[in-house]
Structure 1
Amino acid sequence: MDLLRQRFETLTTAHIADACVRAQLPVRCLGLHPLVAGDKTAGRVLPARHAGSVDIFLEAIEGGAAGDVLVVDNGARLDHACVGDLIVQEAQTAGLTGVVIWGLHRDTVDVRAIGLPVYSLGALPTGPLLPEDRSADALTSARVGEWVVDSSDVVFADDDGVIFVPLAHVDDVLTLAEGIRDKERRQADLVREGRTLRDQLGFADFLARRAENPSLTFREHLRRVGGAVEE
C-alpha cells in the first residue's frame, strides 16, 4: 500500500476515473470533499456501517491495518453527524490514512488540527441521539452512494472526490492513469507553446469525419489519434 500511495501522489482521482473507463471498469465515485483543501489519500477500504454508536468504528479499527482508509456508511443521513474528532484521532493513531464518510462529521476545527484526511457530505453539531439495530454485515461492507465496497476495494481521494477500484485491478488502473497523466501534461505543454489542443487532436478532421458519419463520437476519434482529454 505504501507504493500505491506513492504512485497516487502524482495522480488525481480524475486520472483514476479516466483509467477505469479505459479498463472498462465501473467508475465508482462520489462527490465527497476533504475538510482541508489539498488533502489526498489512498488505501484499502476498511468498512463500517454506523448504527448510532461509535463502538462500530472502534471495532473496525481494532480489526484494521495500518494504511487502511475507514469508509463509513451512514446512509447519507443529514440529521446527525456520525464521526467526530475522537474517532479521527483514534484512526490516525492506529495508522489509518484517512476517513471517508457517507454522511456527516462534526468537531471540524479539531478534526482539521489532527491532520488526517477526512471526506464527508458536510458538518452538523449533533451526534446520533439513539442507538439503532446493527446489521450483520456492519464490519464487512459499506454502501456509499449506489456502490457497495469492502476490503477487496481500494479508495483514492482528493479535492475532486473519492473513487473506488477493485484491489485486483489497481496496478493496471494506476499504469493507465500514469499514461493518461503524462499524455495530458504533454498536451498542456504544447498548448502553452502555441499549438492548440484542437490542432493536436485533429479536431478539424474529426468534424469532417463526423459530417460523413454522424454516429462517430469524439471518444472514438481520440482513441484513433491517441489523444487524452476526457478518458
Structure 2
Amino acid sequence: MTTDEQAQPVFPLPVRGDAYQRADAGLVGQMGQVSSATACAKLHGMGIRRTWMEGPQPLATGQKIAGSALTLQFMPQREDIASGLAQEAVERQTALWAVLEAVQPGDVLVIQAYGSAFSGCVGDMLVRYFKRKGGAGIVVDGRIRDAPRIRELGVPIWCTGTTPHYASQSELFPWAYDVPVAAGGVLCLPGDIVVADDDGAVVVPQATAPEVVATAQDHQEWEVFSRMRLDQGAKLGNYYPLTSESRAEYEQWRDQQRSSQR
C-alpha cells in the first residue's frame, strides 16, 4: 500500500464530535481556586466516584490549572485505514492537527492514549502552537516527547512520562476530537471542567461545578482554621474534621476574619 493510498482511507478522518458548550469562564475561574483533592472529595460526596485520572503526573511541579475540556482521542492503528508510516505528512491531516486549530483561550486539552508508552502524543511544535492559541494546559493519558523544550515553554502538562516517538510512530493514531474520551479510567466530555495540580488531574462534570465551588469554598476555609489550631497544639479529633463545637468556633473565627478585612 502506498503513502498516497493511506492518505485516502476508507473511513473519513478526522472524526469530529457534535458542537458543545464550553464551561462558563467565571465558573472556571472559581474552580481555579479549588484544589484537585477538594474537587475529587466533593464529587465523591455527590456520588460521582471516578473523577481522578490515574496515571498522568505533572511534567513540572508547582503548577495548577482549571479549564474547559477540549478532547482528543487516539485509536489503535490499522494499516488499511490509518498508520504513521509517513509521519507528519499524514499526521497533519488527522485529529491531532485539527484539534489544535479548535483551541480557544483557557482550554485544557485532554488526550485519550491508553497509557501508551510508545506514542509521543504531543511535542515541542504542537505545544508551542497550543500556547500561542491561549490553551491553559494539557492532560495526556500517555506520553509526550521533547520534554526539555516543553518545560522551557512553561505550558502545564500532566502525562505518564516521555518517549522519543512521534505521535503515530508505534501503535496509535489521532482519530477524533470534540468527542467523549476515557483518560486514566475517567470519562471526560467536551466542556467538562478539568482541575489539575501536584496531586493530579480531576474531571468535574460541568453541571456539578457550581455545587462543587460552593461546598469547596467552605471546606477550604475551615481547613485553614483547623491547620492553625493543630499548629497551636489542639487535638486532631476535635478539629479534623470539625465537630459541632469546633464548627461553631470556626464560624466565629471566620466572621471575625471577614470583618477585619472590610
Same-fold call, TM cutoff 0.5: yes
Matched to 2:169, the amino acid is L
Distance change in 2, residues 1:195/1:130 (3 Å): closer
Distance change in 2, residues 1:196/1:46 (3 Å): same
Matched to 1:76, the amino acid is G
Counterpart check, 1:149 vs 2:188: yes
**2:204 alignment partner in structure 1:** 165
Q: Does the CA-based 8 Å contact 1:15-1:178 persist in structure 2?
A: no
Indicate the SS of the match to 1:80. Answer: strand
Distance change in 2, residues 1:101/1:4 (3 Å): same
Distance change in 2, residues 1:14/1:133 (3 Å): closer
RMSD over aligned CA atoms reads 2.5
Question: Could you list the runs of 5+ residues in structure 1 that have no partner in the other structure?
Answer: 202-221
From 23, 45, 65, the counterpart of 1:22:
45
Distance change in 2, residues 1:10/1:132 (3 Å): closer
**1:204 alignment partner in structure 2:** none
**2:60 alignment partner in structure 1:** 36
For 1:165 and 1:27, how far apart are their aligned partners in 2?
A: 10
Indicate the SS of the match to 2:121. Answer: strand
**1:113 alignment partner in structure 2:** 152
Question: Could you list the runs of 5+ residues in structure 2 that have no partner in the other structure?
Answer: 1-23, 76-83, 85-90, 248-262
Indicate the SS of the match to 1:49. Answer: strand
Q: Does the CA-based 8 Å contact 1:153-1:166 persist in structure 2?
A: yes
Deviations, residues 150-181 of structure 1 (Å, cap 9, x unaligned) = 21311110000000011111111011111111
Distance change in 2, residues 1:148/1:224 (3 Å): same
1:181-220 equivalence runs, <5 A: 181-200=220-239
Q: By how many angstroms is 1:138 displaced? A: 4.1
**2:5 alignment partner in structure 1:** none
From 168, 177, 190, the counterpart of 2:216:
177
Matched to 1:23, the amino acid is M
Deviations, residues 80-132 of structure 1 (Å, cap 9, x unaligned) = 31211111111111111001101001111100111111110011112232686
Q: How many residues align?
A: 207
**2:36 alignment partner in structure 1:** 13
Deviations, residues 70-89 of structure 1 (Å, cap 9, x unaligned) = 11111211123121111111
Q: Does the CA-based 8 Å contact 2:53-2:185 persist in structure 1?
A: no
Distance change in 2, residues 1:30/1:56 (3 Å): same
Q: Does the CA-based 8 Å contact 1:154-1:166 persist in structure 2?
A: yes
For 2:133 and 2:170, how far apart are their aligned partners in 1?
A: 27
Indicate the SS of the match to 1:64. Answer: coil
When normalised by structure 1's length, the TM-score is 0.79
Matched to 2:219, the amino acid is I
Distance change in 2, residues 1:159/1:48 (3 Å): same
**2:161 alignment partner in structure 1:** 122
Distance change in 2, residues 1:25/1:168 (3 Å): same
Matched to 1:129, the amino acid is Q
